[in-house]
Amino acid sequence: MASKKMRSAVSGDPIPIAHNLTNFEGSVNRMDGKGVTTAIIAEDEGGIRLDRWFRRHFPALSHVQLEKLLRKGEVRLDGKRVKASDRLSVGQTMRLPPQIGHLPASAPAAHPPTQDAGLIRALVLHADDQVFVLNKPSGLATQGGSGLTRHVDGMLDALTEGRRQRPRLVHRLDRDTSGVLIVARTVPAAATLAEALRHRDASKIYWALVMGIPKPQSGTIKLALAKRSVPGGEERMVPTERHAEDAKAAITDYQVLGVAGRSYAWLAVKPVTGRTHQIRVHLAAIGHPIIGDHKYGGNAAAGSGEIADRLHLHARSIDIAHPAGGRLRVTAPLPPHMMKTWKLLGFDPDTQIQPFAPRRSATA
């Protein structure tokens, strides 16, 4: 596939890209001369079993193969031998032997249906020897899950282009969130991108349409988050006291870019930390839920009239260290339902405004 022209992104200071990221997000971070790779256990992986971690990142590695590597001591956690049933802690370092890097990102599978292969190729905003950047549409899941059979990860075989290694997701977006999604074409590229994410050498800007006009019109939301069960058995992220046992610090910068009367505001949003549903929870918590976000905004977030009752949250741009050096900057156009809303409300979808001044530090 021929490389596509890189597009300028809205600038901002380095942040970790969307929290709940996963094939290699906050994980693989360096490779030595012998091909041994180390991986850092990410924030959303604390407490899971070691064998589950491997199923998540290396589904092509069978349980028998993993047990053999464990018996030989080729997989180690913080330098110590481990068992498949051991639980992981955030920040621990996993030693991965050279043969791990030669595995495909997933078990061999049939090529995606023709229509899916065409879709994934049409989503490519940027392509080079090491990276794809996709514009994920709203409503398409990033990875499989309960009851999900159609997702981005399942379509990536169409982007192998004759290479032995299958492209790997570098992070995720919620199913109903659209926008920039990075896919690595090689293990070293995934490792480099993960390093950039882990050290916040990346900036990701979201656009959102919210109910009402936030005051002040630019600011920082600092609310710790924790996962809680709600009636019906569903789990949600909720604001909590920062000293609560399971609380995770969460910081979100926002800037109003446009208003429509007193009813709606167009926000540029930059998550300084990366927590599950962070943007959605934070904006709902200050009384300005994202349009279409019934999970956190309830009926107050419903779209009305010609404004679609769908989530109006879009990963607009990415600025990240490129594996080959320099910067990768890509901007994703709005999805159809948000483009219609922007035109209806008189907002400029092509603005190049740079809403955020660089931070001196990005402490969670």
Tokens at 73, concatenated: 């001591």
d(CA 223, CA 225): 6
E strands, the chain, where? 28-31, 37-40, 76-77, 80-81, 93-96, 124-127, 131-136, 168-169, 178-184, 202-211, 218-222, 224-229, 235-240, 251-260, 264-271, 313-321, 327-331
Distances (CA, A) of 310 to 20, 137, 219, 303, 354: 22, 12, 26, 7, 26
Q: Which of 13, 44, 153, 174 is catalytic?
A: 174
309 flagged as catalytic: no
Q: Tell me, what DSSP letter sits at residue 188?
A: H
At residue 150, φ and ψ (nearest 5 deg) are -120, 120
Angle at 277 between CA 276 and CA 279, to 5 degrees: 125
* CA–centroid distance for 180 within its chain: 9
Q: Which residues are catalytic?
A: 174
